[in-house]
Structure 1
Amino acid sequence: MAAAFSFSYDQAFSRNIGWVTPAEQAQLKGKRVAIAGVGGVGGVYLLTLARLGITQFHIADFDSFDIANLNRQAAAFMSTMGLPKADVAARMARDINPEMQVKVFGKGVDASNMAEFLDGVDIYVDGLDFFAFAARQQIFAMCATRGIPATTVAPLGMGAACLNFLPGGMTFEEYFGWGDRPELEKALRFLVGLAPAGLHRRYLVWPEAVNLQERRGPSTIMACQLCAGVAGTQTLKILLGRGEVITAPRGFQYDAYRDKLVHTWRPGGYRNPLTQLALAIGKRVFAKALLKQ
């Protein structure tokens, strides 16, 4: 017969102590985090931050689990197929901490509910699908207006690329320069800007899997889990005001396949000559790919 257990916050997160102080753990307990998208990276972000002892979340996702999610998404199981991602993720987080407060935005986040989604949050952690251009652009803009720190960590290949946008620093729009450009242009700017070092590109063995027009690309569980470690650590540092936080136009990419860590710096963001050159090359490569179809 299984032993009966009663939840205790102090006991549940006691192994965090040492890497954080008891006072810092108490601080984390009182923080509120917003995560848009709880699929590939967002779902594991939620569970990572829940295990860190954060107890208040706003999460948004309109999608339901499908078979194609099984290779990488933390809450994707045959038993969850067809179920709303946000509801399943919230249930798993509450199973870690029954005292947790999770506000679920089951229809996703857009202009109609974005203010409510970001209301009272201490940090935004970006878990949106790569191609969710409108929502991402609006959320980061509102974070900048409201002075909310925001971090995005991209699962690229078998690694993670991180950019932080803090109040008073370079904004998402200043870095990427999306404006009202077409979606394919935004996709290229996002891809180039997220990881200027491009550590992942060298071992892409099946390029046909990347199709910006059809909004699809490959992703691995290793990348998603590495992203969660990076995003969780950036969140801890930002919320506790502890240690140096690398902010845009600086970023970094770690690639486990190539065993490399590269720090990047693109002053001027999308206006940087190196970024402009990479964009020009990307456009030519994309144009050639279209001709082959």
Structure 2
Amino acid sequence: MLEEEPHRSVSTSAGRSPGRSPRMTFCRPPTPAFVMMSESPLSRNRGLISDSEQNRLAGARVLVAGVGGVGGRVAETLTRLGVGTLVLADPDTFSVTNLNRQAAATTATLGRNKAEVVAELCRGIGTGAIVEVVREGITPDNVEDLVASSDLVIDGTDYTVPDVGLRLARTARGASVSVVLAVEIGFGVWHTVIPPDGNRFERLLGLAPTVTFDDLASRRVSVPLWRWVLSIPAYIGMDVLAHVEQGHLEAPAVAPAVELSAAVVSTTAISLLVGRRPPASAPRVHHFDARTGKAKTLRPSRVRFYLSAAIASIGRSVG
């Protein structure tokens, strides 16, 4: 702990020569009262989160739908930021393929339900957060109650099941609740907010307002890859991406992108909960690539996607 210097007053030297200015010593300002308070799990939030904002977070209830990679890390981060209640919904269990990027995935948690593992992690942080677990994940039977009782929804579901995302977005719209969504691309991420006004999710993915959940679940209606992958970084293997688009392989995903995604989603969530404006709202998204250092706000574009694919292919051929 820093020792406070003795309080000094302005003084003059006795017997000084006539005409000389008095010798002045400026006192150090007293230490603010909140700095002197005893340490707490959230004390380092001060200066970035005000006391009134911290109180608002303590009273907030956030639904995290899907807590594998991004969702799990978001749940942990929101706990460390002081969110009072978290509802974690995920029917999946940790598998070997999760070990490369999902923070709660370890050899000790393989085969365990993701929501239960992340809940244990959050409760162990010690901020006093209430953490509820929904082992069955988001279903048609529970989505209305889960969303309506929440102040904010984090959509951490897989982009390969857009019917779940659509169900969350439409339910949230009816309950006047915003949804935060993010997708990792290479070593980058794009993220956005789905406000509860208009068909924002449908516009983002190019879906008709009349599309049904069954249309997406049965794949009678599909979302093209360029709606999810805004542009292809030159460092991504085009042969792998072709297999991903054909459904033969899962999309490549690495830990840095998951961590980056969780960071921007958590920051956006906090902004919304305390009344700040987010950096982007659907159908616009904010994209940042940590490997290239490039950032931009844009809308999904078919032309941009295929142009980036052509450039990436040429670059690999030349290389």
TM-score exceeds 0.5 = yes
Report the 3-state secondary structure (helix = DSSP H, G, I; strand = E; otherwise coil) of the residue aligned with 1:86.
Answer: helix
* Change in CA separation of 1:206 and 1:175 when aligned onto 2, cut-off 3 Å: closer
The residue aligned with 2:136 is: 107
In 2: Cα distance, 1:58 partner to 1:228 partner: 17
Q: Contact conserved, 2:82 with 2:129, CA < 8 A, in 1? A: no
> Structure 1 residue 237: deviation in Å?
1.0
The residue aligned with 1:239 is: 273
Cα shift readout 1:4-50 (whole Å, capped 9, x = no counterpart): xxxxx971011111011111111111101111110011111111111
The residue aligned with 1:156 is: 185
User: What's the TM-score once normalised by structure 2's chain length?
Assistant: 0.76
Letter in 1 for 2:69: G
Letter in 1 for 2:254: T
Letter in 2 for 1:70: L
Letter in 1 for 2:222: K
Q: List aligned pairs for 1:54-203, cutoff 5 A.
A: 54-97=83-126, 99-168=128-197, 170-178=199-207, 179=211, 180=215, 183=219, 186-188=222-224, 191-194=225-228, 196=230, 198=231, 200-203=232-235
For the pair 1:205 / 2:237, whether they are aligned, the reply is yes
In 2: Cα distance, 1:159 partner to 1:249 partner: 19
In 2: Cα distance, 1:177 partner to 1:59 partner: 29
Cα shift readout 1:222-275 (whole Å, capped 9, x = no counterpart): 110000110011111111112454212221100011110011146xxxxxxx44
Report the 3-state secondary structure (helix = DSSP H, G, I; strand = E; otherwise coil) of the residue aligned with 2:166.
Answer: helix
For the pair 1:257 / 2:257, whether they are aligned, the reply is no
Rg: which structure is higher?
2
* Change in CA separation of 1:265 and 1:135 when aligned onto 2, cut-off 3 Å: closer
Letter in 2 for 1:141: R
User: What's the TM-score once normalised by structure 1's chain length?
Assistant: 0.82
Q: Contact conserved, 1:144 with 1:171, CA < 8 A, in 2? A: no
The residue aligned with 2:250 is: 216
For the pair 1:228 / 2:267, whether they are aligned, the reply is no
Sequence identity percentage: 29
Cα shift readout 1:147-203 (whole Å, capped 9, x = no counterpart): 111110111110110121112355202332332356386341xx423453x1x4321
Letter in 1 for 2:293: D
Task: For structure 2, list consecutive stretches of 5 or more residues without a partner in the other structure.
Answer: 1-37, 309-319
Whichever structure has more helix as a proportion of its residues is 1
For the pair 1:248 / 2:276, whether they are aligned, the reply is no
The residue aligned with 2:55 is: 26
In 2: Cα distance, 1:223 partner to 1:167 partner: 27
More moved, 175-184 vs 93-102:
175-184
Equivalent residue in structure 1 for 2:74, among 39, 45, 55: 45
